[in-house]
Amino acid sequence: MNSNVESHAPVVTIDGPSGSGKGTISQLVAKQLGWSYLDSGALYRLLALAAQHHSLELDDEASLETLAAHLDVEFTSKGDILLEGESVDDILRTEETGKLASVVAALPKVRLALLARQRAFAQPPGLVADGRDMGTTVFPSAEVKIFLTASAEARAERRYKQLKEKGFDVNLAHLLQDIESRDLRDIQRSSSPLKAADDAIEIDTTTLSIDDVVEQVLEHCKLVK
Ligand code: DC
């Protein structure tokens, strides 16, 4: 097992654009390995919700930095997420919250304020971390780095099905537009933009099943386990 400068535990990073399947794949891989799981996008989503609770403007970098440094979040053992003591599971995953998260995530001081909190998740026996900059910035020495891609159309369709199943009223064309504009904001920001680390393994999931992708990722993890 390689040593890791950011932690004493092995880390597998799974980055990619929204709808690339990162969340589902990462959770399944973490379960198979018996490791913990970091959903870094949830932190940016929680910060965006907290900003709304406190009526902060989304371009007020100084106040958002302070809020990020003191974000009152609890990930319960039952899988619930509490923000300032209240369950926010439903609103956390909406497209609107994702859009707001992408806006606050573009602020360099906010990203820095959340860095230590993310690194603290790397505990034995290991961590699977999902996001946009896990392999490039948060865990640059991770043992295995995966970058998932899929066409914007395939990602919009996946999101459409997921949201429909949850009972949300959604429109495919709007979802595609949202995905494309979120991709652009995540790719073009100056601080830790969405991109594959030089040493990441890229997997195009457009035509692959979830099981196929999990199998491929686990194959790359064999060397670490
Ligand atoms: O993965 P997600 O859809 O929950 O992420 C929501 C937004 O948060 C995403 O559009 C960009 C931002 N994000 C980020 O900038 N860096 C991360 N590591 C994770 C998410």
Band of residue 90 on the pLDDT scale cut at 50, 70, 90: confident
Angle between the N-to-C axes of helices 108-119 and 40-53, in degrees from 0 to 180, rounded to the nearest 10 = 130
Mean pLDDT over the full length of the chain: 92
200 DSSP 8-state letter: P
What span, in angstroms and rounded, lies between the C-alpha atoms of 23 and 40? Answer: 10
What is residue 171's predicted lDDT score, i.e. its pLDDT? 94
pLDDT at 84 over 60: yes
- Ligand 1 binding residues, C-beta < 6 A: 18, 40-41, 44-45, 98, 101-102, 105, 131-133, 182, 186
Are 43 and 71 in contact, with CB atoms under 8 Å apart?
A: yes
What is residue 1's predicted lDDT score, i.e. its pLDDT? 40
List the one residue out of 82, 84, 31, 17 whose CA is nearest residue 54.
84
pLDDT at 4 over 60: no
**Interval 165-212: pLDDT, tens:** 988 888 999 999 999 999 999 999 999 999 999 999 999 999 999 999
Contacts of 126 (CB under 8 A, 6+ apart): 9, 10, 11, 12, 33, 35, 36, 224
Ordered by start, the domain boundaries in the chain are 11-208
Most confident of the ranges 87-91, 189-193, 215-219: 215-219
**Interval 41-62: pLDDT, tens:** 999 999 999 999 999 999 999 9
What span, in angstroms and rounded, lies between the C-alpha atoms of 122 and 66? Answer: 23
Pick the residue whose CA is nearest to atom 9 on ligand 1.
102
- Of all atoms in ligand 1, which is nearest to the CA of residue 106? 15
What span, in angstroms and rounded, lies between the C-alpha atoms of 14 and 165? Answer: 25
What span, in angstroms and rounded, lies between the C-alpha atoms of 121 and 202? Answer: 24
Pick the residue whose CA is nearest to atom 4 on ligand 1.
41
- Of all atoms in ligand 1, which is nearest to the CA of residue 23? 1
Band of residue 69 on the pLDDT scale cut at 50, 70, 90: very high
Cα(103) to centroid(ligand 1), Å = 9
**Interval 6-50: pLDDT, tens:** 557 999 999 999 889 999 999 999 999 999 999 999 999 999 999
What is residue 77's predicted lDDT score, i.e. its pLDDT? 80
What is residue 2's predicted lDDT score, i.e. its pLDDT? 43
**Interval 174-184: pLDDT, tens:** 999 999 999 99
Pick the residue whose CA is nearest to atom 11 on ligand 1.
102
**Interval 94-119: pLDDT, tens:** 889 999 999 999 999 999 999 999 99
Q: Is the N-terminal amide bond of 125 cis, ω within 30° of 0? A: yes
Say which amino acid occupies 35: W
Superfamily covering domain 11-208: P-loop containing nucleotide triphosphate hydrolases (3.40.50.300)
What span, in angstroms and rounded, lies between the C-alpha atoms of 40 and 56? Answer: 21
Backbone angles phi, psi at 38, to 5 degrees: -115, 120
List the one residue out of 148, 130, 127 whose CA is nearest residue 200.
148
148-160: average pLDDT: 94
Pick the residue whose CA is nearest to atom 13 on ligand 1.
41
